[in-house]
Structure 1
């Protein structure tokens, strides 16, 4: 087999892994009410299925590069696919929410390694001048996964069983395993530095503790949640102190000397809290309050993804014309208004207006991701590009999990305030939650306002970031 053909197969192989990862991140949302009924849970308490997956990915991503260098890209990629497939089977076999959450944690471990390790294999196989083009090809399944995920999940729930939203990974994963064995090379042996175990433990515990504070209010109680939050913030502060003293930390403190990176990371974290909750809340309210079928609820997410893909074609030109600061401040305000506008959702809302809302939300959300990601990475040099990209990927996954956890906590609070017996009050709780998440997103506009007043589009960092 020629080198060119071998590299072409490698791109398809990495694309398969990326497709599995993005598909599984979206296919679950539409199935949550049906899964809740099968497991004897309330559909409004199923957020842990999503949070466990996103939070685990955020924890594992910082170690993915070191793991690949230490054990070899081919071996780690094989392990990632095998773990993803096995945990998908365990998800399908789960008979309780706790079993499903544990299986999702293992699934998140496999998913966290698929794209970073696959991207590393592509980086080593392709010349620098071809890398961006190669990764653009790999990114296509990342757009297809969210496009088909909600609808496919709704169709499987309605016409087969919810178990198949996980079992669909098995044939795709088997093909990926066979292709990895046949076409992926092990890559050069690399002398790896000693892994920063203490720093990783502090960072991971801090992320988990802060996230569980939001997701665990109902079972921790207020005192327990506050104690866990303090412990999490203390762990993150301890990591910063540890990184200042260590010559080779996971994320070098000098990374944060870049103003654009600091603002980009904070903006990503807080503005994504609002946008990340929407794929969780919208299918839920459509099924629980408006009696949509799972298939109908899944199809209602199509306008969002289609608008997101269309905006990609003009996003760069708009940013070049308006600059980062004006684009992000204005777009964040529009995004916040669109999230809050779903407080109008109800039986009296015309279908065409709901579709318009979803289209505009998808477009503004896509513009937000593109602008935030590029402003975060644009000033990184070659030395810090890989580390900065991993840091951004970690923040993205952390924000996805926290967004779902925050919205679920707000929704539960309104339900406890108004009661859940009356369907009208249940819808009212959803409407209030959309309004609150819109206000939370609006507050993040103040972060982007701190960017330089004149910001022109500069070349992106060496490694493109996945738009999660």
Structure 2
């Protein structure tokens, strides 16, 4: 069982994860108010969201090397400090340029904060306790995007948008003080040389990919700029992949993907994360733009996703131990696909209770699915490869979370091109996202039945059998 220090550390990281994810989505609700106060257009304020997400995705790969060089305690405390100070600077930004710059700084802090914190938790947790530890960390990341529309709507309606950033200051101070007591110095020393070519290829490729998705999702984008940016991203990432597989000390160790359970989490889990992050973006837009609901009402209804998350959370560990990862991931991803596609049937006359039930069931599916992926990711990863696996996992899932909103916007624009009815455009977007979530279902079907059993609480005899089966499955693949 986890001791009180381990639980406290896991909850601390969970709180930091909540702040990071909340700041990635809450600003969207206040875009009109921010644009008006800064004397610019709403489209330009979109840079405030994009700059934060791009910085997160680009700088996460550096977290592993920095942890090895300076130790987890120093990096974690510095990350909290940067995030908190940047939040304060965002609140007092006098113009759009300064706001975008401070959001980049805020993203830099977030990029180091959560991956390093998660690494501290994983390194100090026995495999049999992984499911419980990951559950502590994951649920705030699921809750934050759901709370964001309501919280953002309340702040934008009844207060100033500056409070969106000011709320992080007391939370950051508390997190810093708690971290000083809980996080130990840990090992650090002289890591391998920093992979500078890897930084150039990976960071520029991820930035270009995120920017290309932003351009495609925006109205009136220049097709030439989109194509050029997309080609640049493809070329950089292709060259980066080739380099990472050949160099002896890569920035991101792609060889960690040779473990089937980790590969499923990094790839299929990222697709699932993209769908999960897209829904809290699309649903409030449907409710406000098509149904004519207020920001507060639409945010309140989206909270039923949160109800599903919390309702199933106490049972997640039991379900994993009872049924195993493969059956649970199949059911969770299929459930998320069905409930997402079902949103296409919503109309202005659909009873609110029906919408609430569908969104709550979607919350159950997303909670079980992402908890399963986050746990199985490290269940069979060797301790000496944990830092590399953590960096790749964090990068892939953060990139998916950022691109999920862009994918939803692209699907919405595609639906608008096919039909003149606004509701039909949203229906197309929901169906596309539901179909996308079937890909992780296919991936879960290909998992070995014993995958991840090292992290389950099973009997001694069963543990020996399942671990042997996993070993045999690795050899066969």
Q: TM-score, normalised by structure 1?
A: 0.82
3-state DSSP of counterpart to 1:292 = coil
Moved more, 113-122 or 229-238: 113-122
The answer to whether the Cα contact below 8 Å between 1:122 and 1:131 also exists between their aligned partners in 2 is: no
Gaps (5+ residues) in structure 1?
A: 420-424, 462-468
The answer to whether the Cα contact below 8 Å between 2:77 and 2:179 also exists between their aligned partners in 1 is: yes
Distance 1:414 1:139, change over 3 A: closer
The Cα offsets for residues 407-426 of structure 1, whole Å up to 9 and x where unpaired, read as 1122234446656xxxxx33
The answer to whether the Cα contact below 8 Å between 2:271 and 2:440 also exists between their aligned partners in 1 is: yes
Equivalence for 2:198? 199
The Cα offsets for residues 353-411 of structure 1, whole Å up to 9 and x where unpaired, read as 11111101101111221233334333212222232122112111111111111111222
Please show how residues 155-234 of structure 1 align to structure 2 within 5 Å: 155-177=154-176, 186-187=185-186, 189-217=188-216, 218=218, 221-234=222-235
Distance 1:282 1:383, change over 3 A: same
CA distance in 2, matches of 1:334, 1:204: 34
The answer to whether the Cα contact below 8 Å between 1:33 and 1:287 also exists between their aligned partners in 2 is: no
Please show how residues 78-157 of structure 1 align to structure 2 within 5 Å: 78-94=77-93, 100-120=99-119, 145=144, 148-157=147-156
CA distance in 2, matches of 1:359, 1:241: 43
CA distance in 2, matches of 1:304, 1:214: 26
Gaps (5+ residues) in structure 2?
A: 457-477
Distance 1:386 1:209, change over 3 A: same
CA-atom RMSD in angstroms: 3.5
Equivalence for 1:67? 66
Matched, 1:448 2:444: yes
Moved more, 370-379 or 183-192: 183-192
Moved more, 431-440 or 275-284: 431-440
Residues paired across the two proteins, number: 451
CA distance in 1, matches of 2:255, 2:287: 46
The Cα offsets for residues 438-460 of structure 1, whole Å up to 9 and x where unpaired, read as 222234433333323x3354123
Q: TM-score, normalised by structure 2?
A: 0.81
CA distance in 2, matches of 1:322, 1:76: 38
The Cα offsets for residues 332-372 of structure 1, whole Å up to 9 and x where unpaired, read as 23211211111222321111111111101101111221233
CA distance in 2, matches of 1:371, 1:51: 28
1:231 deviates by 2.4
1:152 deviates by 2.8
The answer to whether the Cα contact below 8 Å between 2:145 and 2:277 also exists between their aligned partners in 1 is: no
The Cα offsets for residues 12-49 of structure 1, whole Å up to 9 and x where unpaired, read as 76555344224324433544455456567776887654
The Cα offsets for residues 276-328 of structure 1, whole Å up to 9 and x where unpaired, read as 20111112222233233222222222211121122233334444555544443
